[in-house]
Amino acid sequence: MFRGTGTALITPFRDGAIDFEALTGLLNFQVENGVDALIVLGTTGEAATMTPAERDAVITHALKVVDGRIPVIIGTGTNNTATTIDLSRRAEELGADGVLVVTPFYNKPNQEGLYRHFRTVAESIRIPVILYNVPGRTGVNLSPETVLRLAQDVENIVAVKEASGDQFQCDRLIRALQVVRPDFRVFSGNDDQAFHLVCSGGDGVISVLSNVVPAQTSALMNAALGGNLAEARRLQLQLLPLMKDLFHESNPIPVKYAASLLDLCRNELRLPLVPASQGTCELVHADLLELDVLEDDDE
Q: Which residues are catalytic?
A: 132, 161
**DSSP labels, 187-211:** EESSHHHHHHHHHTT--EEEESGGG
Q: Which value, to the nearest 10 degrees, does the dihedral of the CA atoms of residues 208, 27, 70, 34 take?
A: -70
The HSE-up count of residue 158 (CA atoms within 13 Å, CB side) is: 15
Query: CA nearest 288: which of 265, 261, 266, 263?
Result: 261
Fill in the DSSP letter of residue 143: -
Distance of alpha carbon 70 from the chain centroid: 15
As a whole number of angstroms, the distance between CA 276 and CA 258 comes to 10
Which helix (DSSP H) or strand (DSSP E) does residue 82 occupy? helix 81-94
4 — phi, psi (to 5°)? 115, -120
